Chains A and B, each alone.
Chain A
Amino acid sequence: MSNAFDEVATNKWKSYLLMFVFTLIIIFIGYVFGRVWGNNDPSIVITFMVLAFIIAIIMALVSYYAGDKAALSISRAQPANRQDHAHYINTVEGLALAAQIPTPQIYVLPDDSINAFATGRDPKHASIAVTRGALAKLNRTELEGVVAHEMGHVRNYDMRLMTITVILVGLIALLSNFFLRSMIFGGGRSNEDRGGGGGIFIIVGLVLAILAPIIAELIKLAISRKREFAADAEGAILSRNPEALANALKKIKKDSLETKVATNATAHMYFTSPFKKGFWSNMFSTHPPIDERIKRLEAM
């Protein structure tokens, strides 16, 4: 099982590295935009950064506290009950024991595809949801594997990490947007004051404003994929059965249904990508390719 522990650690530090790169990009953007706007006057730069930051914090607080309820209601999750879902509930309770976290709230999604998601800002306020398709089509150990994967997400605070990441992406998009508008409407400030360096910053700024949101999105997706691998490994550790998780993924591969209750905003939270078709190449996907996930699990 040492492979599984290494997988968790590797993917964790890779995601932190990506966050670090993210922060550097934001600082760089702030600097470049500030040079263009601010006429080298630091107080204007700082004002803009602070404003954007405040907006980001508000967005973060809202999604931090209300995000899980929103996700659950958009997906039309129903609370599970002991009459119909005894095994599912026992599985979640058992795995919470193994993970040494409080039992999350347990939900069922009214969808016939095989999928699941976890949400919540920390283990004390977490929820797990599984589609009724998963309950019907997976056997006991496979369901255990899927629930264990979600439990891994909860234990690793993945939802919190992704919330912060989404906010950072939003921040970059906001700053870039501001910049492009200011260039279009504001023209330039007094060019004479800038000196030789000004022109370059405008060009760099424009390029950044166009590319940065795309790069930010790619980084967010990369972070999401690393965390999915880590959750697979955590699931294997918790259930002591990587093969069961691999089998669940194989079943999903064969099953052709899309998860209809998912939306673009919630897609990254699911166990496997809710959308089957599309030109999503690997870089643009929230989830790693299923074959790669199966391969890594079978190697454990």
Chain B
Amino acid sequence: MIGWIITAVIVLIVLVFIIAYNRFIVLRNRIDNAWAQIDVQLKRRYDLIPNLVETVKGYAKHEKKVFEEVTKARSALMGATSLGDKAKANNQLTATLKSLFAVAENYPKLEANENFKMLQEELAGTESKIAYARQAYNDSVLSYNNSTEMFPGSVIAGMFSFKQREFFKTEGEETKPIKVDFGDTQK
């Protein structure tokens, strides 16, 4: 009789281990996937920017400073490797793009240009998607970190070295509930 009970307990413990371990794998892969999604959107924005800069230059050649800032921030983002650096560089690029669109408001002919309008919408969409992808990334990190900290997950996490992951932080943007939006919001 005792023998059966011990066997049952052992089987139960092994099952718990397997389920917990697999859950960690799922949550961790979700984080990696979410990160890949951020990268996809960052790349899309990277590709859109040269076209935008050229279009704006066509109407506002003299605004050299803002073009330089955008180009510099863009290179910085591509050069960034660690998560912290990427987060900082991303925020920087968003800020320079905002300046660029603010400058564009002084040139009504530019604002009316179809290509510019299309790029504006695409970039706004991409900025939103970066924000959403970041959100998904942070949500995944939260689930994962919670699991590694709560009992009994913490025990298993320790055994198999599932470590906590970093959040993709924003600076200053934390206080704003509304997403970055270059277009008109009045309706």
Q: Does B166 contact A (CB under 8 A)?
A: no
Complex-state Cα separation, A128 to B178, whole angstroms:
23
Q: Does A241 contact B (CB under 8 A)?
A: yes
Q: Which one of A22-30, A93-101, A223-231 contacts B?
A: A93-101
Residue among B124, B131, B136 with most chain A CB within 10 A: B136
Q: CB distance B181 to A100 under 8 Å?
A: no
Known interface pairs A86-B121, A87-B121, A240-B177; A137-B187 also in contact (CB < 8 Å) = yes
Residue among B30, B37, B178 with most chain A CB within 10 A: B178
Q: CB distance B136 to A90 under 8 Å?
A: no
Q: CB distance B181 to A140 under 8 Å?
A: yes
Q: CB distance B132 to A97 under 8 Å?
A: yes
Residues of A contacting B129 in the complex (Cβ-Cβ under 8 angstroms): 90, 93-94, 97
* Contact residues, A55-91 vs B (CB, 8 A): 86-87, 90-91
Q: CB distance B125 to A95 under 8 Å?
A: no
Q: Does A141 contact B (CB under 8 A)?
A: yes
Q: CB distance A138 to B187 under 8 Å?
A: yes
Interface digits, B26-38 against A, CB 8 Å rule (1 contact, 0 not)?
0000100110010
Complex-state Cα separation, A100 to B129, whole angstroms:
12
Known interface pairs A137-B187, A139-B185, A140-B181; A240-B125 also in contact (CB < 8 Å) = no
Complex-state Cα separation, A243 to B177, whole angstroms:
10
Distance between B132 CB and nearest chain A CB, rounded to angstroms:
4
User: Interface on chain B toward A: helix, strand, loop, or mixed SS?
Assistant: helix
Q: Chain B residue with minimal CB distance to A101?
A: B136
Complex-state Cα separation, A94 to B45, whole angstroms:
14
* Contact residues, B129-185 vs A (CB, 8 A): 129, 131-133, 135-136, 139-140, 177-178, 181, 183, 185
Residues of B contacting A243 in the complex (Cβ-Cβ under 8 angstroms): 177
Known interface pairs A86-B122, A87-B121; A97-B183 also in contact (CB < 8 Å) = no
Q: Does B106 contact A (CB under 8 A)?
A: no
Residues of B contacting A91 in the complex (Cβ-Cβ under 8 angstroms): 125, 128
Residues of B contacting A241 in the complex (Cβ-Cβ under 8 angstroms): 177-178
Q: Does B81 contact A (CB under 8 A)?
A: no
Known interface pairs A138-B187, A140-B183, A240-B177; A94-B125 also in contact (CB < 8 Å) = yes
Q: Chain B residue with minimal CB distance to A139?
A: B187
Q: Chain A residue with minimal CB distance to B186?
A: A139
User: How many contacting A-B pairs (Cβ < 8 A)?
Assistant: 58
Residues of A contacting B128 in the complex (Cβ-Cβ under 8 angstroms): 90-91, 94
Residue among A91, A139, A140 with most chain B CB within 10 A: A140
Distance between B92 CB and nearest chain A CB, rounded to angstroms:
22
Residues of A contacting B135 in the complex (Cβ-Cβ under 8 angstroms): 98, 240
Q: CB distance A100 to B122 under 8 Å?
A: no
Q: Chain A residue with minimal CB distance to B128?
A: A94
Distance between A5 CB and nearest chain B CB, rounded to angstroms:
11
Residues of B contacting A87 in the complex (Cβ-Cβ under 8 angstroms): 121, 124-125, 183
Distance between B107 CB and nearest chain A CB, rounded to angstroms:
22
Residues of B contacting A138 in the complex (Cβ-Cβ under 8 angstroms): 187
Distance between A237 CB and nearest chain B CB, rounded to angstroms:
9
Complex-state Cα separation, A138 to B178, whole angstroms:
16
Report which of A94, A137, A140, A141 forms a contact with B132, defined as CB distance below 8 A: A94
* Contact residues, B23-77 vs A (CB, 8 A): 30, 33-34, 37, 41
Q: CB distance B122 to A98 under 8 Å?
A: no
Distance between B177 CB and nearest chain A CB, rounded to angstroms:
6
Residues of B contacting A139 in the complex (Cβ-Cβ under 8 angstroms): 185-187
Complex-state Cα separation, A170 to B128, whole angstroms:
43
Complex-state Cα separation, A39 to B138, whole angstroms:
62
Residues of B contacting A94 in the complex (Cβ-Cβ under 8 angstroms): 125, 128-129, 131-132
Q: A100-B139, A138-B187 are in contact. List 13 more A-B contacts (CB 8 A).
A: A90-B121, A90-B128, A90-B129, A91-B128, A97-B41, A97-B132, A97-B136, A99-B136, A100-B30, A140-B181, A141-B185, A241-B177, A243-B177
Interchain residue pairs with CB less than 8 A apart (15): A86-B125, A90-B122, A90-B124, A91-B128, A94-B128, A94-B129, A94-B131, A97-B41, A97-B133, A98-B139, A139-B186, A140-B183, A141-B185, A240-B177, A243-B177
Question: Which B residues fall within an 8 A CB radius of A?
Answer: 30, 33-34, 37, 41, 118, 121-122, 124-125, 128-129, 131-133, 135-136, 139-140, 177-178, 181, 183, 185-187
Cβ-closest 10 pairs across A and B: A90-B125, A98-B132, A139-B187, A94-B132, A94-B129, A97-B132, A94-B128, A97-B133, A98-B135, A86-B121
